[in-house]
Amino acid sequence: MSKRALITGITGQDGSYLTELLLSKGYEVFGVVRRSSTESYERIEHLRDRIQLIQADLLDQYSLIKALETAQPDEVYNLAAQSFVPTSWSQAVLTGEFTALGVTKVLEAVRAVDPKIRFYQASSSEMYGKVLEVPQREETPFYPRSPYGVAKVYGHFITVNYRESYNLFAVSGILFNHESPRRGLEFVTRKVTDGVAKIKLGLANELRMGNLDAKRDWGFAGDYVEAMWLMLQQDAPDDYVVATGETHTVQELVEVAFERAGLDWQKYVVIDPRFIRPAEVDLLIGDPAKAKAKLGWTPKTSFKELVHMMVDSDLARLEARK
């Protein structure tokens, strides 16, 4: 019999890649979508006739229990979150209610419906925040620098706590930044590749940016969802860092992207204080040694390949629209 998976956040970047992966492995896939006046199913449109969508909200305990009863999943992937760091300052309470407490609600639904369900929590390198150790490992202490990071620390530890308290198969994947042509337009990689494509095609004449000195460990989302799945296939539940082990500045990202389109970035990039954050995470670089050794997982896409893939995709999309 085929396995069944339920994904919260299925309409997001990771949700779409994870759905493709699970379908390719023969899973029956159920997705939680929240009600809104306009649907945002763009990233999963091509998969719509192969999956089942259930309306529920991470803020609503009863709706989550009903969703699990309907799907009867073997595995739950909790990817839903308010995931944009700057918004976590302007909507700090909402971010806490659902990026943090929402995790407890999903875990409580698992306990109520079937404690044998395997649970994946989308934890984040933003939990490390202030640099206390490099590269960052599973044991590196957390010092989050945004309400989003603080909420993710709660989500991480409530997952660990439910595993230890109730013996649930609950794991936390500490994923470093991962990107793709499906990344939201407000995140820095996609903002840059979309901006480059617009400038190249004469649709814009500048790109307004924040802190170019921040360093991130960027990988490809398509590679990272494989690690999520592997974590739930192990004999015992555990937490893993998923990263490339390489770090680059935002400026390097800008340079590689503009170069791909044959443009000189210095002519177009303008620093705009509106994009500087109240508190910054200066340096992220993950150590994926445990994921490599225990899960047999390695990233397949290099930083340059990733940026080129995203620039090419944005150029093709905007050219087609033109």
Contacts with ligand NDP by CB under 6 A lie at: 8-9, 11-15, 32, 34, 40, 57-59, 79-83, 98, 122, 124, 175, 177-178, 184
Please state the closest distance from residue 266 (CB atom) to ligand NDP, in A.
Answer: 28
| Pairing relationship of beta strands 219-220 and 269-271 according to DSSP bridges | unpaired
- In this structure, what token pair is assigned to residue 175? 């994923």
Alpha-carbon gap, residue 59 to 98, rounded angstroms: 6
Is-catalytic flag, 259?
A: no
Q: Kindly state whether residue 124 participates in binding ligand GDR, applying the rule CB under 6 A.
A: yes
Catalytic residue from among 63, 124, 172, 180: 124
Does the bond joining 144 to the residue before it have cis omega, within 30 degrees of 0? no
Q: Kindly state whether residue 211 participates in binding ligand GDR, applying the rule CB under 6 A.
A: yes
Instruction: Could you list the beta-strand ranges (E) of the chain.
Output: 4-8, 28-33, 51-55, 75-78, 118-124, 170-175, 178-179, 207-209, 215-216, 219-220, 240-242, 248-249, 269-271
Nearest Cα to Cα of residue 172 among 291, 321, 309, 53: 291
Q: Kindly state whether residue 82 participates in binding ligand GDR, applying the rule CB under 6 A.
A: no
Q: Which residue number, 158 or 199, has a Cβ lying nearer to ligand NDP?
A: 158
Q: Identify whether the C-beta of residue 111 lies closer than 8 Å to the C-beta of residue 122.
A: no
- In this structure, what token pair is assigned to residue 151? 């909420």
Stretch that binds ligand GDR, among 31-39, 87-95, 112-120, 187-195 (CB under 6 A): 187-195
Please state the closest distance from residue 286 (CB atom) to ligand GDR, in A.
Answer: 10
Q: Kindly state whether residue 140 participates in binding ligand GDR, applying the rule CB under 6 A.
A: no
Q: Identify whether the C-beta of residue 254 lies closer than 8 Å to the C-beta of residue 209.
A: yes
Distances (CA, A) of 307 to 156, 192, 298, 313: 30, 9, 19, 10
Please state the closest distance from residue 161 (CB atom) to ligand GDR, in A.
Answer: 21
Q: Identify whether the C-beta of residue 80 lies closer than 8 Å to the C-beta of residue 40.
A: no
- In this structure, what token pair is assigned to residue 43? 């990233």
User: Which listed option, ligand NDP, ligand GDR, none, makes contact with residue 40 (CB within 5 to 8 Å by class)?
Assistant: ligand NDP
Q: Which residue number, 16 or 124, has a Cβ lying nearer to ligand GDR?
A: 124
Catalytic residue from among 28, 75, 126, 255: 126
User: Which listed option, ligand GDR, ligand NDP, none, makes contact with residue 195 (CB within 5 to 8 Å by class)?
Assistant: none
Stretch that binds ligand GDR, among 157-165, 203-211, 237-245, 285-293 (CB under 6 A): 203-211
Is-catalytic flag, 148?
A: yes
Binding residues for ligand GDR, rule: CB under 6 A, are 83, 85, 124-126, 176-177, 186-188, 191, 209-211, 214, 216, 250, 275, 277, 280-281
Residues annotated as catalytic are 124, 126, 148
